[in-house]
């Protein structure tokens, strides 16, 4: 078909026609809202580099989680900020740790919400790295045993899903075995399968109080120049028992999401990370962009690339916008 017989603009001339043939759609139920849990009660502190995002005690986490549920958001992802940190991140697997307490409160008061917990040691270690340090480097094989303890403690607290984000080799299999051996064979794992050593994580590290105290994380997180390696990482996690695989970050890695979608018939999540969020917020506050339009364009691009689920700090704003557009 060629012009003038075929005129593509015919189906663009009004909003209803555009909606009828839209190839990609976003729903609140496909968004996962990340939240930062702190000790104590009545605590709520805005992250300076992430306007609208807070570090909160469990009581306030519950309130916001209930609100998220009312907006149609089905799931949240919890990150813990402990009262104290040590070399082995012991509060990460303490039955009375900040995450474990929050999970128990959420399961009592935010019924029906899928509570996902981040499984990594960086928030809990005094050195800020994602594992046990030996001779100046993260020891892979010892670290994965600690990660299994952490995941199991989250499961025992009532988590609906665990999400290992450390990028240690073999950790999905060890966590799967620990869960299965303790009666949690039905608990799913969402693996950070292709997590890149990215400069987009800066605001998150402020929020989670987890910058490495020496060196960097390039020895275990992925090199941003590689995509074929990401396919190998994803394949390994699926083989070890991951139920959902994740690409992180999302916006600068749309090609990786697309490659994964074409290669694997597995649910794919993508993490629209803190730096991506903060750039939109900063530009919006300066009046340089239409913040809401850019937010939805970014989320749509992530979905269009092949993600089934999007983890995003925009979740609450996007859900409100989607709800208004349906009325």
Catalytic site positions: 195, 248
The single-letter DSSP state of residue 40 is: S
Q: Which two tokens mark 124?
A: 């809990």
Cα(71)–Cα(299) distance, rounded to whole angstroms?
17
Between helix 291-305 and helix 315-326 the angle, nearest 10°, is: 100
* Sign of the dihedral through C-alpha 283, 280, 99, 60: positive
Taking phi first (over 0 means left), then psi (-120 to 50 degrees means alpha), and beta for anything else, what does residue 52 get? left
| Residues in Cβ contact with 65 at an 8 Å cutoff, skipping those fewer than 6 apart | 33, 35, 76, 106, 110, 113
Cα(106)–Cα(103) distance, rounded to whole angstroms?
5
Cα(2)–Cα(240) distance, rounded to whole angstroms?
50
**Residues 262-267: contacts with CB within 8 Å, 24+ apart?**
262/306, 263/231, 263/234, 264/234, 264/235, 264/238, 266/234, 266/238, 266/242, 267/243, 267/308, 267/309
């Amino acid at each position: 078909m060629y012009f003038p017989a075929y005129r593509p603009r015919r189906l663009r001339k009004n909003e209803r026609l555009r909606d009828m043939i839209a190839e990609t759609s976003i729903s609140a139920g496909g968004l996962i809202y990340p939240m930062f849990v702190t000790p104590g009660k009545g605590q709520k502190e805005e992250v300076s580099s992430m306007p609208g995002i807070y570090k909160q005690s469990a009581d306030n986490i519950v309130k916001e989680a209930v609100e998220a549920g009312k907006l149609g958001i089905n799931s949240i992802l919890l990150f813990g900020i402990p009262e104290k940190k040590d070399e082995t991140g012991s509060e990460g697997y303490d039955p009375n740790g900040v995450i474990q307490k929050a999970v128990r409160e959420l399961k009592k008061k935010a019924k029906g919400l899928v509570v996902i917990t981040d499984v990594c040691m960086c928030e809990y270690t005094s050195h800020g790295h994602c594992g046990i340090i030996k001779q100046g480097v993260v020891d892979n094989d010892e670290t994965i045993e600690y990660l299994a303890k952490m995941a199991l403690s989250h499961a025992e607290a009532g988590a609906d899903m665990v999400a290992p984000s450390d990028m240690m080799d073999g950790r999905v299999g060890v966590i799967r075995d620990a869960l299965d051996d303790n009666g949690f064979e039905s608990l799913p794992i969402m693996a950070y399968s292709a997590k890149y050593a990215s400069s987009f994580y800066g605001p998150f590290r402020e929020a989670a109080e987890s910058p490495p105290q020496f060196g960097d994380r390039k020895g275990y997180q992925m090199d941003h120049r590689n995509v074929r390696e990401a396919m190998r990482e994803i394949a390994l996690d699926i083989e070890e028992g991951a139920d959902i695989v994740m690409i992180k970050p999302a916006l600068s890695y749309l090609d990786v999401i697309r490659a994964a979608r074409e290669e694997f018939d597995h649910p794919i999540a993508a993490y629209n990370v803190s730096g991506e969020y903060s750039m939109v917020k900063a530009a919006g506050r300066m009046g340089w962009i239409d913040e809401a339009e850019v937010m939805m364009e970014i989320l749509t691009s992530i979905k269009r690339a092949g993600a089934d689920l999007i983890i995003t700090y925009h979740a609450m704003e996007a859900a409100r916008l989607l709800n208004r557009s349906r009325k």
